[in-house]
Chains A and B, each alone.
Chain A
Amino acid sequence: MAVRAELLKIRSMPTPFWTGVAMLVCFAGGIAASVAWGVGEDDAVLDVAIGVPTSIGSLILGSWLAGVEFGQNTLRRVLSADPRRIHLVLVKLATVLLVVAVATLVLMLAGLIVYPLAGSGHETSFDFAMALRIVAACLVTNVTYATVALSLTLLTRSMAGGMTMTFVFFFVIDGLLSLIPKVGDYTIGVAQTDVDLAIRQQSEGIFETTATNSSELAALVLAGWILAFIVAGIARTLASEVK
């Protein structure tokens, strides 16, 4: 029932709606691009038209679902109905991961059907095995973004703050951390790239990135980062006075 309450919030309010609309627009753009230029090398259309939009959408949704209570000042109402704060964080996390996973899978499944047909007039053929690996890689990326965004929003206790901090963390702080010799090999970004390349079975990713650690170690480091973020978010939620 608690997950249902979170799903009702997602269904009722405009931010998730417009995030969904944006993803559908990108998906439609993928159809147009496939018709015009084909599906691209290594099924690139899936990454561009679904992978990137859903990763941004995951970040937004993660921030939004935690931040909506701060933005609307409804946390006291939620906790007055059910005071279990850890439960609340875990329910929100479960909900956002469920929605992110379902949205990614549904769009990817639709892409697997529609894009090859749309791009059939071009020379580049659609590699279904590669496409499935892209789906798995995107799921890992989206789960990571959604979890970190939700946790950082709980830490900042602000939707805008959480969203901003997530962008800053992934695109600035994590990049700076990766410059530190040795220690930099264990940043979340490096771990995520390693896991992504392992799933895709590629030696080189976009922006010519290459694997740093073994896939097993990378998966452990990534899981460690995700867990640390969740624990930090829960600790902050437990320690805070409810306004």
Chain B
Amino acid sequence: MAAPLIQLEGVTKRFGSRVTALDGLSLQVPEGTVCGLLGPNGSGKTTAIRIVLGLTPPSAGSAQLLGMVPGTEGFIGAVRQTGSLIEGPALYGRATARQNMEIQAATLGLRNAGTEIRELLGLVGLSDRADTNARGFSLGMKQRLGLALALLGRPRLVILDEPTNGLDPSGIVEIRELIKRLPERGATVLVSSHLLSEVQLMCDRATIINKGKLVADGTMDEILGSTGVGEGYKVYVRISQSEAAIVALERAGLEVEDKGQGSLVARGQIEDDSEITRILAESGIWLRGLMRERPDLERVFLSLTDGGGGEG
């Protein structure tokens, strides 16, 4: 198995004597994946990213980016193969989108980047605004430009911190599809987002942290199955038969949640939907509707993070 592109081992970060942003955090981002980094506000996501990029040193533990430790000679090469968008786009507001890209290309040491700059501005839908000052951009346009900056130089690893912030629904879909396609360009992606449904749609893996500690890490299927907040069925019966349906389903060993108005959610060891039909029919209850409820990241996240409340 190839070495992970990002590796944190027992990383702790303290700010002063009172604030512990990260507390022994370990995580890995394997090559070729789109990995989500999730956590409530103040959980330490951005601090972890800043440590990976060498912007801030850990108080304890070690970080590696593309196998290189921040501060060592090879780390410069690792950073140059990494595109990042951290805490919103950092733009020279009085420079145009194209000039921002040219400045970044020069900082990265890229020569003759004109074609790539045009291509990337097109990719993020800013071709017609290439010569407009960035300070006149909407937040969504700034995010797009930030993403284009992160993709300059065809990086091997792309780190995106809340890349869909400020985007309208169609923009979110566009960016999501763009991020999903990045592995085709040879890029591994670490994306931090609070839009859990987006992360579920775009990521192969996820890492959930809370109060600076790792609470879950693995493939999306592993994460979704990690809490027992598994698949279930939405069961619709007549309101008058709700009580009887609950009794029948519970007698069959299922956990039942009454949503009211004849709507129930049944969870447990269910082979397929015919089993629900059979249990209810045997009790003389006729189904009005049955829908499979897939586990979603939001519920898993909330169960793992005590409702999502961070330290702030």
- The chain A residues found within 8 Å of chain B, CB to CB, are 1-2, 4-5, 8-9, 12-14, 68, 72-84, 241-242
Contact = CB atoms under 8 A, between A and B. Distances in A.
Interface in B55-108: 55-56, 70, 75-76, 79-80, 82, 84, 86-87, 90-96, 99, 102-104, 106-108
Contacts of B93: 72
A145 to B, nearest CB: 24
B109 interface: yes
B92 A72 contact: yes
A14 B106 CA distance: 20
A80 B95 CA distance: 19
Interface in B215-260: none
B107 A82 contact: yes
Contact of B103 (A12, A83, A84, A242): A12
A33 to B, nearest CB: 33
A194 B219 CA distance: 71
Interface residues of B, number: 32
B276 interface: no
A9 B106 CA distance: 10
A210 B91 CA distance: 48
Given A83-B54, A83-B70, A242-B56, A9 B92 contact: yes
B129 interface: no
B6 interface: no
A14 B94 CA distance: 7
B53 interface: yes
B94 A12 contact: yes
Interface of B: 50, 53-56, 70, 75-76, 79-80, 82, 84, 86-87, 90-96, 99, 102-104, 106-111, 149
Contact of B91 (A72, A82, A84): A72
19 contacts: A1-B107, A2-B109, A12-B95, A12-B96, A13-B92, A68-B92, A73-B90, A76-B55, A77-B104, A79-B55, A80-B82, A80-B84, A81-B79, A81-B107, A81-B108, A82-B108, A83-B54, A83-B76, A242-B50
A241 B76 contact: no
Contacts of B96: 12
Contact of A84 (B76, B82, B110, B111): B76
B106 A13 contact: no
A13 B95 contact: yes
B56 A72 contact: no
A81 B86 CA distance: 12
B237 to A, nearest CB: 56
A162 B220 CA distance: 49
Nearest to A83: B54
Nearest to A73: B90
A74 B92 CA distance: 7
A80 B92 contact: no
Contacts of B80: 81-82
A14 B53 CA distance: 31
A79 B109 CA distance: 13
